[in-house]
Structure 1
Amino acid sequence: MTSPTVPSLEPAFEVVVQLGAPEDFGTTRAGHRRVVPIIGGEITGLMTAGILAGGADWQLVRPDGALEIDGRYCARTADGELVYLQVCGVRSGPPDVLSALLAGDDVDPSAYYFRTVVSIETSSSALAHLQHAVFVASCIREATTVRYTAYRVT
């Protein structure tokens, strides 16, 4: 029996997502729900594109204060090609750090854990290869942005 190859990570692209003011729904049947509008941003690296307004990050605040992340947004390349990104993951840390992040305060990224999986969809033949890869990202939450580096799992 052959063993699978050991995966490695290679940097693929950098993302800066500009955020609008969060809408806090309070406690719903699913839990404490927040929706954070995505109002712009940019992607550089294996693809270069501007993030379009209209996406959002649907967040569920767990009882322990950690967030379940479900971000969905679109970007457009200089050639007019559309790219759909779905970003799912978790942000966790000590209660005081999570409270500061929820309040929109800038917090040292080493004080919390924020990791996601990024899925890509596009009809662009030039970017089609991105649909056949798994990307993981290390993220940073700032007052009005989320920044992350996406790594292709090889």
Structure 2
Amino acid sequence: MPDRALSFGERAEAYERFRPGYPVELFDLVREYAGGPVRSALEIGAGTGKATRLFAAQGIAVTATDPDGAMLAELRRHVPASVRTVRASLEDLRAGRRRYGLVYAVAALHWTDPEGRWARVASLLEPAGVFARRAGRCSRSTRP
């Protein structure tokens, strides 16, 4: 992981204060994409928890991961106590007993190593689970 990916924590409080949040439409799009209820989710690169809050507010049991401890400390100040946090990058996560109905990355997938990325994500999903990522606008486009 590039050192730059770990540099945000130095300014985690400012990052939280000035980075805009996400509209509820982001959750709506993911729920529609999932095609059914989502009970558990793993967030890759949660940062200060802007998207974490959105998903947790919908009753999803979220495990928020980030390799930067300062970012996770800021996240914990803003999310419900039910949100589980893990200091780890995607590359650090190993498939085990925990699998998720949803694995998502809102603004961090580009910080992960492309080699083995999809196999690792697949190993973290429940059967019929889904992966979602935000790669631009999070509302529907009006263009055809």
Structures share fold, TM-score greater than 0.5: no
Greater fraction helix: 2
TM (norm. structure 2) is 0.27
* Higher-RCO chain (CA-CA 8 Å, sequence separation at least 6): 2
TM (norm. structure 1) is 0.25
Greater fraction strand: 1
Q: From the CA coordinates, give the structure whose radius of gyration is larger.
A: 1
